[in-house]
A = this chain, B = another copy of it.
Amino acid sequence: MRQLHFASDNNAGVAPPVLDAVVAEAARTDAAYGWDSTSQRMEEALADVFERPVEVFCVPTGTAANALCLAATNPVWGGVVCHERAHIVVDECAAPTALGGGLTLLPVPAEHGRLEAGAVAAFLDARHDTGVHSVPATSISITQATEAGTRYAPDDIAALADLAHGRGMALHMDGARFANAVAAAGSTPAELSWRSGVDIMSLGATKGGALAAEAIVAFDESRREPLERLRKRSGHLLSKQRFAAAQFNAWFESGRWLGLADHANQQAQRLAEGLTAIGVPLAHPVEANIVFADLEPAAIDNARAAGAQFYMDDPVANPDGTRRIRLVTSWSTEPDDVDALLAALSAMM
């Protein structure tokens, strides 16, 4: 039976041009641990993408990128304000705490996966500061695109950055799906990051068409030594780093990363429109490549019987008996896959 892959953009293969770059790199011999020419070109590529010099550190996973970003920007006694459903809270088994020397995550609820500066300020004000006894909030972490499939506009980010910096805190962005956000936003990478006040970010290519290529991007060169050391001692410095760099270089080349992301975003739009057309309510605005839908259990069973793969968003049912499911599209999702999924669902409605 044909499988309809909507479980995760991590399930996709590798985009052909990215794969070609790996193949080309494989025929070369060059220095290990980032002292190679391909890694050098990656730094230039990122400087080009962000319109300024940046500190870049390849790491093998998005969890490593997030955890090391936070380890480098918070004291071990610090606290990271983040969405209660952020990846760092629910999907990393406390990696930021583990690699950050025991830092604390401070989850806050917010609609559609998106923190809002006013609400975060209220959260901070309502915390009981008992001096040395309580964990101080030392940074804010946001995800772009969010885990709910929504986006932050540059102004949203700037408001959070102003709040953070005004209280001596840093602003981190988990950009595992930054490409999807940029492709959909009509804003530049710079506008969606440092120009809006982001201090450090994780930038992922793996979900967007690479094999395994994630990066820490820091907009402050004082973070270089901590990041180099923390990456090494947590086992995240790749010996043959040039293969990760090669993936990034091919991904960024001629805006390819945005083309791949745009394809994924469009499939999510196609899916969202189709669901709406058959009367399935969407849980969040669809602003990137993830769709959340509330479905009858029978419809879920039918879709699975038709080969559809996806995750439940919650372990418990909604009050009305429906279940919320998460559908993720990728650079490799075919319109036919979307249509086949919609057909399986509408057969039940």
Contact = CB atoms under 8 A, between A and B. Distances in A.
Nearest to A59: B235
Number of copies of this kind of chain in the complex:
4
Contacts of A22: 19, 22, 211
Given A126-B316, A212-B243, A243-B211, A60 B236 contact: yes
A232 B30 CA distance: 30
Contact of A26 (B13, B90, B127, B228): B13
Interface string A28-67: 1111110000000000000000000000000111111101
A19 to B, nearest CB: 5
Where chain A touches its partner, the secondary structure class is: loop
Contact of A28 (B13, B125, B127, B316): B13
A60 B111 CA distance: 36
A259 interface: no
Given A90-B130, A126-B315, A228-B132, A95 B235 contact: yes
Given A60-B61, A62-B239, A95 B232 contact: yes
B133 A232 contact: yes
Contacts of A339: none
Contact of A92 (B12, B14, B233): B233
Interface in A98-126: 98-99, 101-105, 125-126
Contacts of A83: none
B95 A315 contact: no
Interface stretch (A1-9, A181-189, A270-278, A291-299): A1-9
Interface string A126-138: 1111101111000
A322 interface: no
B26 A229 contact: no
A50 to B, nearest CB: 23
A180 interface: no
A240 B10 contact: yes
A135 B88 CA distance: 11
A221 interface: no
Nearest to A36: B11
A31 B13 CA distance: 10
Interface string A217-236: 00000000010111111111
A27 B228 CA distance: 34
Given A94-B233, A95-B234, 10 more contacts: A11-B32, A13-B27, A13-B29, A14-B243, A23-B23, A61-B236, A64-B235, A75-B229, A92-B133, A92-B233
18 contacts: A11-B30, A60-B235, A61-B239, A63-B232, A63-B237, A64-B234, A76-B76, A77-B93, A93-B135, A94-B102, A95-B235, A98-B102, A98-B234, A101-B102, A129-B315, A132-B231, A206-B239, A211-B243
